[in-house]
Each structure stands twice: as C-alpha cells, then as structure tokens.
Amino acid sequence: MKLTAGGRRLAVAALVQSLGIGLFMASSMAYFTRQVDLSANQVASGLALAGIVALGISLLGGVLADRYGARRVLAAVYTGRGLCCAAYVFVTGFWQFMVVTLCAVACDRAGPPVLQALVAVAVPERQERTRLLAVVNVVRNCGLGAGALAAGVALASDTQTAYRITLVAIGLAFLGGAVLVLRVPELAAPVAGAGSDGAGEKPAAGRVLPDGRYLTLTALNFLLFFFDTMLLVAMPVWILEHTDAPRVTVSVLFALNTALVVVLQIPVSRLATGQRRTTRMLTWTGAVLGVSSLCFAASGSVAGGPAVAWLATAVVLLTLAEVIANAAVWDLSIALAPPEQRGRYLSVFNLSVAGQRVLGPVMVTGLLLGAGTLGWVVAAAVLVVAGGAAERVARAAGERTPPVVPADA
C-alpha cells in the first residue's frame, strides 16, 4: 500500500523504536543479573509490580493527548522511554531499578493508544488508518527480530561496557522515533455533529469514563486478546510439560507466528471495510481462537509427529485470530470513540491489552493449564461466546455513534 508522508514517518518511527525494544528485550536480563547483580526473581518481580502500577498511570497519556495533541504526547513518550534506557546505565541497586522501570513501563503502556490517536488525526480515511496501523505492526515485528539479533553482540562480549553502549543505543533509537513523530502532520480533528438528532447518549465531554458499550467492548477484548497469553505463556508450558513434542518445537512455533504476522497482517487489514464486516471479524476471532484451543487440547493426547502437527495447526490458527483481531479492534476502538475524547477512550480500551498481559499468565497457569485438556475445551467455549458478544456490542455502539463531519465543513 502507498503511504502518505506522515504515514511513512510513523512507520519508520515504529521500526526505529522497535529495534530498540528488541535490543532491550534480548540483552536486559543478562545486564541486570550479570552486571547490576540483581537476581532473576528481583528483575521479574520488579517488572510485574511496575506493570501493575503503570496500568493506571498510562491513562494519563490519553488525557494529555486530548489536551495537548497526540503528536507532542507520543514524542514525549518516546523521549521518556529513551531517557529511561539511558538511566539504566546508572542503576546500581534494586530500588533504583524499580524507579526507572516504573517510568519506562508507564511510557510503554501509554504509547499504543496515543499512537492510535495520532493515526486517527493524521489519516482521516477510516480504512487507510487501519492499514497504516497494520504496516506499523509489521515493521514493529521486523524491528523486534532485528534488534534481538543485534543484541547478540553485547551478549557475546558480556562486558559492562558492551551492555552500556547497547543501552545508550536503545535510548538513541527512541529519541530518533520521537523526532520522526514530531514531523507527522496533524490534520484538523473531525467533530461530531451535524446530522445528529440529539437522541443519542449524552455528549462525551461530560463523561469521565467512556460510555457503557465502549467499556463492555473493552472487557470483551480482554478475553479476545487471550491469543497473546496463549502464545507467550500457554503454548511453551503446554509443549514442555503436557506433550511429547520435541523442546525445539517451542522456538520453531514462535518463529512461525512472527513470520505469519508479517505476511498476513496487511492483507487481513483490508477486510476491515464497513461497520458490519468489521464487527463480524470479532466473531471470527473468537471462533478461530476456539478451534485453536481445541487443537492445543488434541496435541496432548498424541505423540511424536501428530503432536507437532496439532501444535503447528493451533499456532497457525492462533496467528490468524491475532491478525483478524488486530485489524478489527484498531478500526473499532478509534471509530467508536468521540473525536474530542479519543485519547482518553483509547487509553481505557488499551487497558484490556495491558490487563491481559498482567493477569493472563496467572489465568493460564492457575486455571487453563491446571485443568489440562478440559481447560482448553472450556477456554474454547468462552472465546467463542466472547467473540459473538463483542460483535453485538460493537454493532450496537456503532448504530448509536453520531455521524462525523470535518471540522471545516
């Protein structure tokens, strides 16, 4: 697809900062444990605690975007992340690590909804902004992989100097992303209005929280985003502890997921055309995730090649659900949010994603995997119901959303 100048800058900014994230993800644990002398438990607990606290703090990003503009706030978020990475060079103990990590995670959580808000004002055409977000997601995946590979230099050297140079490079990557974001033009925000008969819900400006349907859709998206936890937590634990598949299957299936996202995300995003088709994609998401769950369940009852085949099928279906869900929620979360409070609405909606990443591992280890095959069957049923319910809620919310006209109309 052909991108506007602003779209190209956003895509390059996403690539640059994802290179930094990939570098950090691959090298940070080794740096903290081998050079800062923190234990693995300290690092893990610090990240978990920072993630929980940052859930609330990240909502400020949307409020600030509505007040000061998404472009400036997103540039500030990227700058904050860059400064945090540089600050890790001076960390010498656990509490210093906690302070810097809390700031870094808060910036990380605030970024995605502010990026969506910026795309909404930089690309006024609904289908084109969904495709731009698909491009951003693809280049982000590529950047993460490239960054992880580049981190091998620091890991091979395993010296404090190498790790610190890597951290500074990560900080510069985020600052470069901030500079690119500042060059993205913000068009005049659309306004709700004209054509509305006043019979809908009360104006969004009078609300502190999004309307009930938007909040319900947010809660249902928490369940549909389960594909992330299935891939990162449930899949490797299930393979290693409940199947006869070789251990290397875990890394192969992770690579398969990444490759399929890169290949499928942009084509699938083109399916998000029109309110009815886009909302229907939520039902598809639940149904495909349900079948994927049943394939995981089947892999535990066979051995050798058949187990690997069931697992591969499960991951292919899970990835298909991922790209369908991404395209649908990118479109709907923006379209159903009032323009004057879009940043706040998107920040609340993003809690479904951030919340899944905090609570999802607990749900997987405590409920799904603990119940074995039955856990997967129950998960399949829940996901199918959640998809159908999300479609109905989104369609009802769309019917009550007032028409939007350009501000200069």
pLDDT at position 406 over 60:
no
pLDDT band at 382; cut points 50, 70, 90 = very high
pLDDT in tens, 93-150: 999 999 999 999 888 888 889 999 999 888 878 888 899 999 999 998 888 888 888 8
pLDDT band at 401; cut points 50, 70, 90 = low
pLDDT top residue among 3 and 369: 369
pLDDT at position 405 over 80:
no
Average pLDDT rounded to a whole number, residues 209-227? 91
pLDDT band at 403; cut points 50, 70, 90 = low
**Distance (Å, whole) CA 292 – CA 213:** 28
pLDDT at position 211 over 90:
no
Instruction: State the average pLDDT for the chain.
Output: 86
pLDDT top residue among 38 and 408: 38
pTM, two decimal places: 0.84
pLDDT in tens, 265-324: 999 999 998 889 999 999 999 999 999 999 999 999 898 899 999 999 999 999 999 999
Lowest mean pLDDT among 215-224, 240-249, 375-384: 240-249
pLDDT band at 375; cut points 50, 70, 90 = very high
By CB atoms closer than 10 A (0-12, 13-18, 19+), residue 202 is exposed
pLDDT at position 197 over 80:
no
The pLDDT value recorded for residue 367 is 82
Average pLDDT rounded to a whole number, residues 348-357? 88
pLDDT band at 188; cut points 50, 70, 90 = low
Average pLDDT rounded to a whole number, residues 364-388? 92
pLDDT at position 198 over 80:
no
pLDDT more than 70, % of the chain: 91
Average pLDDT rounded to a whole number, residues 156-184? 89
The pLDDT value recorded for residue 328 is 95
